Chains A and B, each alone.
Chain A
Amino acid sequence: MSALLNYIWAGLIIISVICAAVTGRMPQLSAAVMSGAAGAVELVIAMMGMMCAWTGLMKIADEGGITRILSKLLRPVMRRLFPACKEDSPATKAICMNITANLLGLGNAATPMGIAAMKEMAKLNPTQTADNSMAMFVVINAASIQLIPTFMGTLRAKYGSPAPFDILPAVWLTSICALVVGITMAKLLEGRSSG
């Protein structure tokens, strides 16, 4: 995927320069090269406080064992989504831990747990073709189920939003719709697609 990004990035810059030449906006373009790069540094510094405070708080929740506690509650649901994985298997445990970490927005913890889950599933499927459980797992991870998207909220605050988190109910509604559609599509397509 990073190969694609190489082309996109080059494309954005080439298009910008050509477009500025045609529309006579070279002075603005020249300023944008500087301000864009500087803007990224300003943005990261402005967001640093909130992001660190949040990861600090979530570390407390994590050390207190919240991921383990909540992931146990998820197991009955997971049995329906991953019928191939036995309820007490290491695969199911890793899947539940990963999904809980995603819900809580523990990105740093979610990815290693997700990779562990994929490795457990790969033990049951040593081919190069994804099985239904793997596909379902990746579809859920490709949808955002984070309860409080702190990065987006912090970015809103940085750009002057008086109530950066007032859009949370809209985010929750949208996330649920997308997740339901993703899971349904994964289930529907299971029978049709083959390796």
Chain B
Amino acid sequence: MDKLGVYAIPSAVFLIVIFGLMRGVPLFDTFVAGAKEGFSSTISILPSLIGLMMAVAMLSASGALDILSSLLSPVAAFLGLPPQVMPLVLIKPISGSGSTAVLAQIFQNCGTESFAGRVASVMSGSTETTFYAIAVYFGSVGIKKTRHTIPAALTADFTAFVVSALAVRLFFQS
């Protein structure tokens, strides 16, 4: 089953190029234009990433990250999650750069192929920055009362957190 993931990228690249060829897209020029957009959007996250990676590295070096994880370990155990991913659970709905910083710290401390590393990866890949999406979309049309949006969106995030550990156990038998 994990072979499927290995095929995802090469087949996506192959299909995109064939599709572009069939639709008469100027392939290389378009690729370069797109890469340029990617360049500027990657650069644009850098300042907030510097601030947050500095803060998370400080949190880790001071031992506060370990204390936070062990304080939350009863909650983690109840949800079937490794304790190291609990900081990610807290920051993920609030800040995209913050969760990148925490995810990088988890990879550095536990490794990408550890149970915690894999669960953290699945969490990151299956949730969005919920409050950011809510702020951007409702803010754009001046909506003040969001009614049931936040409870529904947070329930979805919570589901993703719990299922991510189950899914990693299912696909990796760890």
**Chain A positions near chain B (C-beta within 8 angstroms):** 1, 4-5, 8-9, 12-13, 15-17, 19-20, 23, 25, 28-29, 31-33, 35-37, 39-41, 43-44, 47-48, 51-66, 107-108, 111, 114-115, 118-119, 121-122, 128-130, 134-135, 137-139, 141-144, 146-149, 151-153, 155-156, 159-171, 173-175, 177-179, 181-182, 185-186, 189-190, 192-195
Q: How many residues does chain B have at the interface if contact means C-beta atoms less than 8 Å apart? A: 105
Closest to B10 in A: A165
Closest to B15 in A: A61
Measured between beta carbons, the chain B residues less than 8 angstroms from A173 are 163, 167, 170-171
B130 at the interface (CB under 8 A from A): yes
**Are A115 and B20 closer than 8 Å at their CB atoms?**
no
Query: Which of B47-90 touch A at CB < 8 Å?
Result: 49-64, 67
Of B63, B118, B135, the most chain A CB neighbours within 10 A belong to B63
Measured between beta carbons, the chain A residues less than 8 angstroms from B64 are 15-16, 19-20
**Are B155 and A36 closer than 8 Å at their CB atoms?**
no
**Are B41 and A181 closer than 8 Å at their CB atoms?**
no
In whole Å, how far is B45's beta carbon from the nearest beta carbon of chain A? 7
- CA distance in complex: A55, B40 (Å): 11
- CA distance in complex: A181, B156 (Å): 6
Which of A13, A25, A37, A52 makes the CB contact (< 8 A) with B53? Answer: A37
